[in-house]
Amino acid sequence: MAGLMAGFGNFTHAVVRGIPASFAAEALRMNQGDVDLLKAQREHEVYVDVLKHKLGLQVIELPADESLPDCVFVEDAAVVCGDTALITRPGAESRRKETEAMKKVLSDLNLNIVEMTDESATLDGGDVLFTGQEFFVGLSKRTNQRGAEILADAFKDYAVSTVPVTDGLHLKSFCSMAGPGLIVIGSSEPAQKALKIMQQMSDHRYDKLTVTDDGAANCVYMNLPGKGHVLLHPTPEQYPESAKVYEKLKDHMLIPVSNLEKVKVDGALTCCSVLINRKTSA
């Protein structure tokens, strides 16, 4: 694929953040449930280790902040595309200050920083699906129309369409990209309906990979030198049926990554990193 798709999935850096002790009791969640802090921290260490050692990305690790229980979910604090970083205004009040450390680290990487300062706007990065050709923004409990408009202003090279999120926390709670032009989608009715809306609004044609579980439709795609298509995807232990679908992808380096604890507070694989393509190191 040419044009805007060139370079889709090319990343050199990842920003991640540690899990504070407050995560277990205070991280926001849609369903109440006990979280094992040590298990969550170990799970996150493995995720970071994959980015750093298995994939060779330059990983910038922000320290955990006890006053920000959800701070590990860095994706919600910034949307980075090309040389531009949009610092978001997260929908949950308790998460707003997560953007401060993110702004600093992305400024240090010499990205063009755009800040969402409008107090009527909210946007979580988890609601932003970048396909390489356009953006889809989920209108959810966390992200509103004004947030989507500010994102469209920040990334003027791309079309931006909005999609209602009627079920789940974010748009990417039930979909993500698994490659250029390949959308992974959950099987539930709301997920399939959202995909239909995206297809109707788009001038582009996408292939789809349907997985049994909505939660398993969140994977992390990269295209890395010497490695080609890389996919961090849910494990067979967590989603046995959906994992079989990923295992059929023959052109990808498949890396199952456990997310059993973070999912209890609605965290998915994409939530835990902001991926960036900087040719020169910071």
Nearer to ligand GLY, 31 or 200 (CB): 31
Is position 170 annotated as part of the catalytic site? yes
Assess whether 272 carries a catalytic annotation: no
As to burial, measured by CB atoms within 10 angstroms (0-12 exposed, 13-18 middle, 19+ buried), residue 141 is middle
Contacts of 6 (CB under 8 A, 6+ apart): none
Rounded CA separation 126/129 (Å): 8
Provide, rounded to whole angstroms, the least separation between the CB of residue 245 and ligand GLY: 25
Nearest distance in Å: CB 272, ligand GLY: 11
Q: Which is nearer to ligand GLY, 94 or 223 (CB)?
A: 94
Minimum separation from the CB atom of position 59 to ligand GLY (A): 21
CA 97 to chain centre: 19
Q: Taking CB positions, which residue lies at the least distance from ligand GLY?
A: 28
Q: Which residues bind ligand GLY (CB under 6 A)?
A: 27-29, 70, 73, 92, 169, 265-267
Nearest by Cα to 62 from 94, 101, 26, 88: 101
Q: How far is the CB of 169 from ligand GLY (least distance, A)?
A: 6
Distance CA 228, CA 251 (A): 8
Task: Compare residues 102 and 245 and give the one whose CB is closer to ligand GLY.
Answer: 102
Nearer to ligand GLY, 70 or 134 (CB): 70
Collect all residues with Cβ–Cβ distance below 8 Å to 265 and sequence separation of at least 6. 23, 27, 28, 29, 35, 70
- Residues marked active site are found at 170, 271
